[in-house]
């Protein structure tokens, strides 16, 4: 996929890193490139680092590490006004006291251009001059034409609709004839209908102008319809780069699959050569994985075919059916697992059916997590500190046959007395071994639910702590809400410990 994108690179980003003064890492070692004339979109949930990345490309923010190249030249230290880049911001700011013409002309009036002419002695003379009134008027007119607002010059911006104001903001950016236009959620403030119209207009404008667009959105549909290339981000890290079709059809992990479009995500196991078992059935697939590997299996709702009972691969029962305009969205239960299916043919609730999935429509990806691993240390009370918290644990597992005496020393099978205070340990906790409670302080640490992905018969949740943003990833059948504040409970016997290094005795 990468080698197909051979056309000339206009922007290259190498290992970009941005940590704010408060320790927030907004962009974590990000590398990618943008081809000349491309429409590239940054897509990801709120707070994933999209705006920060864009601000660094524009020059409004400085990276703590990495480089930004423009046409092969390092521009990391060049101020924003010296870069051939213009930005349409997330919250657009027009000057309310100026009319449409003046808003767009504002930057041009400050602009100085190099003019070269020959004097009467045939000497070439170069002068720096301001643009003439006539030139400014011509440029503003052209920009207004681009955004379909001819004749709006004299209108006060406060009388314009949201969509029109947004178009003025875009005209103001393109009037400078930038080589690259950065657009940070430019349609975020508009209602759905207007957003759809503006999406088409922006796309048209991109074609007409022939310049490079770097676009930011958290709306997956917007990204899919508008972009040549999509960069999916999460927590400051790029998850996948590809064409809309790549990203939709071949998501690299369950985060991308869940974020882009609707998906069924199942936990599966590879049971043989191109054979994967999920929903208690062995399916043929096309991806090669190691035998016995635990995997995530992604199947799009439109890729599941419904047949009469007994005619397909797995039988089940329809438990819900909703008409969605063009297709029906139906939920089929196979045992305790829900499968979402889209089909133009309706199956009634209660109907017994069978499903069929073609091998190449079964997308298999490495499981992102098989267990949680932390660095920890033992305390004086024989508890263990890790993941921003303190948990009861069984320290005797570090020495088979040992026990803890009344004074809190560990006595080994050989009768040796060991003080474990401050000893560093590796801590491992399985995905099924974490519970949460909305009662604060009953667990070892508190945090917020930052992610919840449905996996067919259970949810995979991530609870993130406040202090050092430590993650606890686990499976649960209970429903919670994102941003719920919870405390993390891990039964003592589920905390697996191992020594970082042998204790010197």
Q: Binding residues for ligand ATP, per CB under 6 A?
A: 20, 22, 24, 26, 44, 46-52, 90, 218
Q: Which does 218 bind (CB under 5 to 8 A by kind): Mg ion, ligand ATP, none?
A: ligand ATP
Q: Which does 440 bind (CB under 5 to 8 A by kind): ligand ATP, Mg ion, none?
A: none
**What gap in Å lies between CA 465 and CA 487, rounded to an integer?**
9
Residue placing its CB nearer to ligand ATP in the complex, 90 or 269:
90
Residue placing its CB nearer to ligand ATP in the complex, 52 or 264:
52
Minimum Å distance from CB 322 to ligand ATP? Answer: 29
Residue placing its CB nearer to ligand ATP in the complex, 44 or 163:
44
Q: Which does 299 bind (CB under 5 to 8 A by kind): Mg ion, ligand ATP, none?
A: none
Ramachandran quadrant class, 79 (left: phi over 0; alpha: psi -120 to 50; beta: rest): beta
Q: Which does 95 bind (CB under 5 to 8 A by kind): Mg ion, ligand ATP, none?
A: none
Q: Which does 455 bind (CB under 5 to 8 A by kind): ligand ATP, Mg ion, none?
A: none
Minimum Å distance from CB 220 to ligand ATP? Answer: 13
Going by C-alpha positions, the residue among 434, 421, 430, 351 that lies closest to residue 383 is 421
**What residues make contact with Mg ion under the rule CB under 5 A?**
51
Residue placing its CB nearer to Mg ion in the complex, 187 or 357:
187
Q: Which does 464 bind (CB under 5 to 8 A by kind): ligand ATP, Mg ion, none?
A: none
Judged by DSSP in three states, 81 sits in helix
How many alpha carbons fall within 13 Å on the CB side of residue 297?
Answer: 34
How many alpha carbons fall within 13 Å on the CB side of residue 64?
Answer: 13
**What gap in Å lies between CA 503 and CA 424, rounded to an integer?**
10
3-class secondary structure for 389-407? EEEECCHHHHCCCCEECCC
Judged by DSSP in three states, 33 sits in strand
Minimum Å distance from CB 50 to Mg ion? Answer: 5
Minimum Å distance from CB 331 to ligand ATP? Answer: 30
Minimum Å distance from CB 490 to ligand ATP? Answer: 27
Going by C-alpha positions, the residue among 406, 503, 438, 427 that lies closest to residue 472 is 427
Q: Which does 48 bind (CB under 5 to 8 A by kind): Mg ion, ligand ATP, none?
A: ligand ATP
Minimum Å distance from CB 422 to ligand ATP? Answer: 33
Minimum Å distance from CB 93 to ligand ATP? Answer: 16
Going by C-alpha positions, the residue among 88, 74, 246 that lies closest to residue 175 is 88
How many alpha carbons fall within 13 Å on the CB side of residue 307?
Answer: 13
Residue placing its CB nearer to ligand ATP in the complex, 50 or 300:
50
Residue placing its CB nearer to Mg ion in the complex, 51 or 372:
51
Q: Which does 501 bind (CB under 5 to 8 A by kind): Mg ion, ligand ATP, none?
A: none
Residue placing its CB nearer to ligand ATP in the complex, 25 or 418:
25
Judged by DSSP in three states, 494 sits in helix
Q: Which residues contact 124 (CB under 8 A, 6 or more apart)?
A: 116, 117, 118
Residue placing its CB nearer to ligand ATP in the complex, 24 or 158:
24
Q: Which does 20 bind (CB under 5 to 8 A by kind): ligand ATP, Mg ion, none?
A: ligand ATP
3-class secondary structure for 422-487? CCEEEEEEECCCCEEECCCCCCCEEEEEEEEEECCCCEEEEEEECCCCCEEEEEECCCCCCCCEEE
Task: To the nearest 10°, report the CA torsion of 273, 274, 277, 278.
Answer: 160
Q: Which does 290 bind (CB under 5 to 8 A by kind): Mg ion, ligand ATP, none?
A: none
Residue placing its CB nearer to Mg ion in the complex, 51 or 460:
51
Q: Which residues contact 424 (CB under 8 A, 6 or more apart)?
A: 375, 376, 377, 499, 500, 501
Residue placing its CB nearer to Mg ion in the complex, 43 or 436:
43
* Beta strands at 294-299 and 264-272: parallel, antiparallel or unpaired: antiparallel
Going by C-alpha positions, the residue among 10, 53, 23, 454 that lies closest to residue 232 is 53
Q: Which does 451 bind (CB under 5 to 8 A by kind): ligand ATP, Mg ion, none?
A: none
Going by C-alpha positions, the residue among 41, 452, 43, 453 that lies closest to residue 219 is 43
Residue placing its CB nearer to ligand ATP in the complex, 218 or 455:
218
Minimum Å distance from CB 337 to ligand ATP? Answer: 33
Minimum Å distance from CB 45 to Mg ion? Answer: 10
Q: Which does 334 bind (CB under 5 to 8 A by kind): Mg ion, ligand ATP, none?
A: none
Token reading at 490:
């891990």
8 A C-beta contact, residue 229 and residue 5 = yes
Minimum Å distance from CB 89 to Mg ion? Answer: 9
Minimum Å distance from CB 77 to Mg ion? Answer: 24
Minimum Å distance from CB 183 to ligand ATP? Answer: 12
Residue placing its CB nearer to ligand ATP in the complex, 47 or 162:
47
8 A C-beta contact, residue 428 and residue 500 = no
8 A C-beta contact, residue 278 and residue 267 = yes
For Mg ion, the nearest residue by Cβ is 51
* Beta strands at 212-217 and 39-43: parallel, antiparallel or unpaired: parallel
């Amino acid at each position: 996929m990468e080698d197909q994108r051979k056309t000339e690179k206009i922007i290259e980003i190498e290992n970009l890193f941005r940590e704010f003064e408060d320790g927030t890492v907004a962009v974590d070692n990000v590398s990618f490139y943008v081809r000349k004339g491309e429409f590239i979109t940054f897509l990801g949930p709120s707070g994933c680092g999209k705006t920060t990345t864009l601000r660094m490309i524009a020059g409004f923010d400085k990276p703590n590490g990495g480089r930004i190249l423009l046409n092969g030249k390092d521009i990391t230290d060049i101020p924003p006004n010296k870069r051939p880049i213009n930005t349409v911001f997330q919250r657009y700011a027009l000057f309310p006291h100026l009319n449409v013409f003046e808003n767009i002309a504002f930057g041009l009036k400050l602009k100085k251009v190099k003019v070269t002419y020959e004097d009467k002695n045939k000497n070439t003379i170069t002068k720096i001059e301001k643009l003439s009134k006539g030139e400014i008027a011509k440029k503003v007119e052209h920009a207004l034409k681009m955004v379909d607002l001819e004749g709006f010059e004299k209108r006060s911006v406060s009388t314009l609709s949201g969509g029109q104001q947004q178009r003025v903001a875009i005209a103001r950016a393109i009037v400078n004839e930038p080589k690259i236009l950065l657009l940070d959620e430019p349609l975020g403030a508009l209602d759905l209908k207007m957003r759809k119209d503006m999406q088409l207009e922006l796309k048209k404008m991109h074609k007409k102008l022939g310049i490079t667009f770097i676009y930011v959105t958290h709306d997956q549909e917007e990204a899919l319809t508008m972009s040549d290339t999509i960069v999916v981000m999460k927590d400051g890290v790029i998850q996948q780069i590809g064409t809309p079709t790549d990203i939709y059809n071949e998501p690299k992990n369950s985060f991308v699959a869940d974020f882009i479009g609707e998906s069924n995500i199942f936990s599966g196991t590879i049971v043989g050569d191109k054979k994967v078992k999920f929903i208690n059935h062995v399916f043929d697939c096309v991806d090669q994985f190691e035998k016995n590997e635990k995997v995530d299996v992604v199947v799009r709702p439109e890729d599941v075919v419904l047949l009469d009972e007994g005619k397909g691969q797995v039988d089940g029962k329809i438990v819900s059916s909703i008409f969605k305009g063009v297709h029906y969205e139906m939920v089929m239960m196979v045992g305790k697992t829900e499968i979402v299916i889209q089909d133009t043919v309706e199956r009634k609730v209660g109907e017994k059916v069978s499903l069929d999935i073609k091998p190449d429509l079964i997308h298999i990806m490495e499981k992102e997590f098989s267990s949680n691993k932390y660095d920890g240390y033992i305390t004086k009370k024989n508890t263990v500190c890790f993941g921003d918290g303190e948990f009861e644990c069984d320290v005797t597992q570090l020495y088979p046959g040992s026990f803890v005496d009344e004074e809190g020393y560990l006595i080994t099978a050989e009768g040796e007395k060991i003080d474990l205070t401050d000893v560093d340990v590796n801590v491992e906790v399985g995905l099924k071994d974490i519970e949460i409670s909305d009662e604060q302080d009953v667990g070892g640490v508190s945090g917020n639910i930052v992610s919840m992905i449905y996996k067919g018969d259970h949810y995979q949740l991530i609870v993130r702590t406040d202090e050092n943003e430590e993650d606890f990833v686990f499976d649960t059948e209970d429903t919670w809400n994102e941003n719920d504040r919870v405390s993390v409970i891990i039964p003592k016997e589920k905390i697996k410990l191992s020594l970082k290094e042998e204790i010197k005795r």
